[in-house]
């Protein structure tokens, strides 16, 4: 049964006391004046509408998961504007003017506390903010991530490598101002275009990874995050998604997970893969980003040193190409990439996909549909592309689904679905 679309209240009060929203200086939270239950009901209705052709049983839908109203973002990407003496860390606001957001209520507490200190550090270093209209200046962004333990990863994005000298020289000063800073790096992005970061990452600190310890299906799971690797921006939501993977897959197969294997395509730093491996499955994770694969492998080794018996292999490759190689004739490249957990001609019991907004696309969706795989867990940040991919996998039914409100106060949300072959 489809939920009725709620009506937006014209007299609704903002959910948060945000001075930037009240003054019209930042409208990133487009739904900040919509009650949270109305936001959630609207997202649920939208997901049900898009996925209606593939959900044949209303009980497949679980109640939507609601995030906290504030302090939920574990990562911020702060545009550097202003001047070298008085930098602003925030966004490019109306009319292209920089808007400082050091009092934004959305980031985690550690990020909120660190942002003013980071602005002071930028000023002490004398870094000139980059002006894209004039193509002048050097410092473009400061990207900050907080782990559940309160440690921080701080990344400076600049247009040239020369910034590294000042960062090395001032590293101890940065730690005085931001004691929680564990990982510090410089990303070099020299191009004059709307690209957040470049390929080159220079590590400034001795530590290269930020441990993210989550509570997944009743157990602790520690993932290692490197500067250029992806992690969900809402830690609580990540715990929900990984827990759903363990619980739903276990319920779907109806047998001991230790006798089954899974492929986690688009595995990132290994969240879904390691959650399933911790539950006993043999898992191969595939991800195109080499830093993410390095981080996932480091997590596996750390788990084994602590005595955990986990069978997980990680491969740096394009997910679609790799999957087709494993089910085909293999070849030198395929056999080298396969690793311990798969072999040419093998079909896994479970496939997990957590792609970017563009979805998995018709080629991978077609392979999954034709492969004989019985169970698929699909986590999507774009319900439109999820629906398109499900249309290309019509041999599956959605047997469980849930909206996970990872991005409160916006129209965006995560949808996780469990698919079973008819």
What residues form the annotated binding site for S-adenosyl-L-methionine? 232, 266, 287, 354
Q: Is the dihedral of CA 325, 327, 331, 336 positive or negative?
A: positive
Helices 383-391/361-371 angle, 10° precision:
50
DSSP state of 119: H
Q: Is 104 a catalytic residue?
A: no
Note whether 224 and 149 are within 8 A (CB): no
Q: Where are the alpha helices (DSSP H) in 268-360?
A: 271-278, 290-305, 319-327, 332-338
Residue 181, phi then psi, degrees to nearest 5: -70, 115
Contact between 229 and 291 under an 8 Å Cβ cutoff? The reply is: yes
Interacting residues of 112 by C-beta distance below 8 A, sequence separation 6+: 71, 102, 103, 104, 105
Annotated binding site: 232, 266, 287, 354
* CA 157/CA 138 separation, integer angstroms: 9
Give me the residue label for tokens 């911020």.
76
Please state, in angstroms and as integers, the Cα–Cα distance from residue 401 to each residue in 29, 48, 225, 275, 416, following that order: 26, 9, 28, 19, 6
Q: Which residue bears the tokens 């550097």?
A: 80
Angle ∠(363,367,368) on CA atoms, nearest 5: 120
Structural contact between residues 51 and 61, judged by C-beta atoms closer than 8 angstroms: no
Q: Are the CB atoms for 168 and 204 separated by under 8 Å?
A: yes
Report the catalytic residues: 381
């Amino acid at each position: 049964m489809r939920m009725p679309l709620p009506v937006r209240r014209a007299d609704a009060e903002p959910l948060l006391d945000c001075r930037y929203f009240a003054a019209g200086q930042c409208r990133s939270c487009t739904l900040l004046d919509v009650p949270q239950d109305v936001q959630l009901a609207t997202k649920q209705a939208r997901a049900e509408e898009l996925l209606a052709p593939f959900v044949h049983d209303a009980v497949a839908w679980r109640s939507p998961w609601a995030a906290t109203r504030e302090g939920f973002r574990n990562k911020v990407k702060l545009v550097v504007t202003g001047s070298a003496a008085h930098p602003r860390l925030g966004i490019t606001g109306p009319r292209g003017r920089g808007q400082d957001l050091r009092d934004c209520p959305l980031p985690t507490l550690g990020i909120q506390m660190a942002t003013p200190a980071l602005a002071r550090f930028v000023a002490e270093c004398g870094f000139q903010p980059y002006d894209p209209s004039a193509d002048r200046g050097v410092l473009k962004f400061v990207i900050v991530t907080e782990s559940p333990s309160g440690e921080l990863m701080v990344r400076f994005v600049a247009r040239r490598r020369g910034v590294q000298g000042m960062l090395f020289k001032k590293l101890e000063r940065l730690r005085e101002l931001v004691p929680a800073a564990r990982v510090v790096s410089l990303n070099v992005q020299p191009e004059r275009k709307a690209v957040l970061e470049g390929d080159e990452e220079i590590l400034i600190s001795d530590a290269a990874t930020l441990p993210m310890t989550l509570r997944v299906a009743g157990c602790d799971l520690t993932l290692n995050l490197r500067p250029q690797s992806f992690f969900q921006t809402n830690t609580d939501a990540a715990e929900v998604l990984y827990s759903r993977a363990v619980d739903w897959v276990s319920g779907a197969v109806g047998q001991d997970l230790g006798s089954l294997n899974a492929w986690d395509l688009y595995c990132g730093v290994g969240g879904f893969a390691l959650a399933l491996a911790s539950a006993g499955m043999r898992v191969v994770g595939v991800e195109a980003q080499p830093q993410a694969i390095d981080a996932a492998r480091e997590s596996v080794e750390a788990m084994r040193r602590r005595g955990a018996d986990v069978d997980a292999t990680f491969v740096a490759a394009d997910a679609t190409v790799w999957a087709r190689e494993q089910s085909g004739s293999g070849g030198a490249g395929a056999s080298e990439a396969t690793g311990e957990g798969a072999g040419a001609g093998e079909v896994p019991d479970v496939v997990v996909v957590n792609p970017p907004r563009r979805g998995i696309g018709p080629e991978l969706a077609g392979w999954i549909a034709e492969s004989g795989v019985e169970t698929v867990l699909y986590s999507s940040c774009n319900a439109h592309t999820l629906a398109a991919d499900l249309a290309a996998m019509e041999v599956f039914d959605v047997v469980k689904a849930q909206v996970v409100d990872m991005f409160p106060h916006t129209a965006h949300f995560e949808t996780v679905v469990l698919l079973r072959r008819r």
